[in-house]
Amino acid sequence: MNNYHKIFTIATCFTIVFISSCKKDFLNKQPISQGTAGNYYKTAKDAEGGLVGAYQQAFLTDQYWVWDYTTNGDARADNCFAGGDNPDNFAVDNFTTTSLNGNATRDWQGLYQDIYAANIVLDYVPKIPAEQFASNRQAEILGEVKFIRALSYFQLVTTYGDVPLVLSTINTPSKPTRTPAADVYAQIEKDLLDGETALPVSFANVGHATKGAVQALLAKVYAQEGKYQQCLDYCNKVITSGQYTLVPNFVTLFNGTKNTSESIFEIQHSEASGFTTYNVSLYLPAQFGTYSFKKFNLPTNDLVNLYKAQNDNVRLNSSIYQAAVTPDGLAAGDPIPAPYTTASVTVPFLYKWKTNISQFGGGTDNTILLRLADIILLKAEASNQLGQTGAAIPLVNQIRTRVGLPAITATSKDDVALAILNERRMELAFEGNRWNDLLRFGSQYTITLMKAQVDPTGKALNYNITQSKLLFPVPFNEIQLDGNLTQNPGY
């Protein structure tokens, strides 16, 4: 064997040794049984899938739009008592919330999860080549998730004040700081204006956010910012769009009928597994086929009395179920939640969502987030605030006429403002609007009103509400994970 041969043999073996494991992509393994964010979002179909994910996260997974928006919007205000037996809900109702409060924690977390699910679509879908999409679909998808993002930030900024403004899942700063509320509002407006441009007035498949939905939300956002002229403009855009009409009978809105002509945006539910909701399980007594326990968000006697004083039986009976109290408890089968007692003649239950197919989580009614009546009353409010009181009154009466109530008698700007506030209270009870309505009326008004609240026996509740309690605390858990987050004053 000559040297040439030897060297050749050895070289061959070296080659074998080092080629043996050099297969291309040998070390690049990706999940087999699970999608990954980096791999997904490659086609138009993936973009639709991401959009589905964003809707599911915000409107089915997150508890916020099941019942927390009602707890924060109505129980914190004067429409409901916390009910139930959950200390966190009591604290929200009584203004004794701390940074450890479970509701304050999960609302923050849920809304940011909604934003994350929207952001991931906004990160990846623009990178998909436009030619893959039918006509304007790519822009529509981005418009829809911007609606979800804006809706979520609107809840955050009204609930917590300054909040971190995170707009991407990829280039997020580590441990983001809180952004001034004005900047958050600016981003909400920008997202909604983008959505207005991108979205059509309607979709063949109902359930998507439309141009009307972003315009209606924008009207509400402008109102909350005190920008009443822009609010009025956007109310008008919705009202004159020709897409929406008030249903003739108020009852139609809350008897299981889905996607009525009045509906601008509603969460879609059905009997199918995964698409039911559990608000009914939390609100309605056992005679409706729910488990027997102390139910939540009990309407206040104050609200019941308002309906009664106005002879508003249509909206009272469509919104509140009054269960008779027997010497042994509740005829409906549940224990009586505080502050109602066996001394109460009836106990009112929240009754806007009624259809129920199982003991827990069997609600099948859609959840309306935006409807025309809200926008009409908002237009009335904006007109009145802009000095056009005369234009505001017929709008209020339009809503009252539907439920058979006489026209309002108020004429002065201040009286009309109060009449609008009351009308919104009766029309939109439990739909999560009351707290923001009160704050638009004035924080001192809100504080004074809440301090005057009484229990069903007329005893003062003595809520310890101060200016700082108008905002929720930033959750302790989140401050612990992000040391750059500051706490709201008073917590």
Site for another protein in 8-47 (CB under 8 A): 9-10, 13-14, 16-18, 20-23, 26-40
Q: Which stretch binds another protein (CB under 8 A): 89-97, 159-167, 237-245, 461-469?
A: 159-167
Contact 370, 329 (CB under 8 A): no
List the interface residues with another protein, window 166-195 (CB under 8 A): 166, 169, 172-176
| Of 464 and 480, CB closest to another protein | 480
| Of 56 and 310, CB closest to another protein | 56
| Of 198 and 246, CB closest to another protein | 198
Residue 117 sits in the site that holds another protein (CB under 8 A)? yes
**Which residue among 194, 415, 455, 478 contacts another protein (CB under 8 A)?**
478
Residue 296: in which H helix or E strand, if any? strand 296-299
| Of 3 and 240, CB closest to another protein | 3
Contact 343, 295 (CB under 8 A): no
Closest CA to 378 of 414, 341, 424, 422: 424
Contact 38, 28 (CB under 8 A): no
* Residue 9 beta carbon to another protein: minimum distance, rounded to whole angstroms: 6
Question: 360: which residues sit within 8 A by CB, 6+ positions away?
Answer: 278, 281, 290, 291
* Residue 102 beta carbon to another protein: minimum distance, rounded to whole angstroms: 14
**Which residue among 146, 269, 315, 402 contacts another protein (CB under 8 A)?**
269
Residue 330 sits in the site that holds another protein (CB under 8 A)? no
* Residue 86 beta carbon to another protein: minimum distance, rounded to whole angstroms: 16
Contact 190, 217 (CB under 8 A): no
Contact 221, 181 (CB under 8 A): no
* Residue 265 beta carbon to another protein: minimum distance, rounded to whole angstroms: 13
Beta strands in 317-422 (DSSP E): 320-326, 329-330, 346-350, 367-371
Residue 134 sits in the site that holds another protein (CB under 8 A)? no
Residue 112 sits in the site that holds another protein (CB under 8 A)? yes
Residue 298: in which H helix or E strand, if any? strand 296-299
Closest CA to 438 of 161, 224, 231: 224
**Which residue among 116, 278, 293, 491 contacts another protein (CB under 8 A)?**
116
* Residue 481 beta carbon to another protein: minimum distance, rounded to whole angstroms: 4
Q: Which stretch binds another protein (CB under 8 A): 132-140, 160-168, 290-298, 441-449?
A: 160-168
**Which residue among 43, 87, 100, 406 contacts another protein (CB under 8 A)?**
100
Rounded Cα distance between 33 and 45, Å, is 19
Instruction: Encode burial over 322-335: b for 16+ CB neighbours within 10 A, e otherwise.
Output: bbebeeeebebebe
List the interface residues with another protein, window 195-224 (CB under 8 A): 203-208
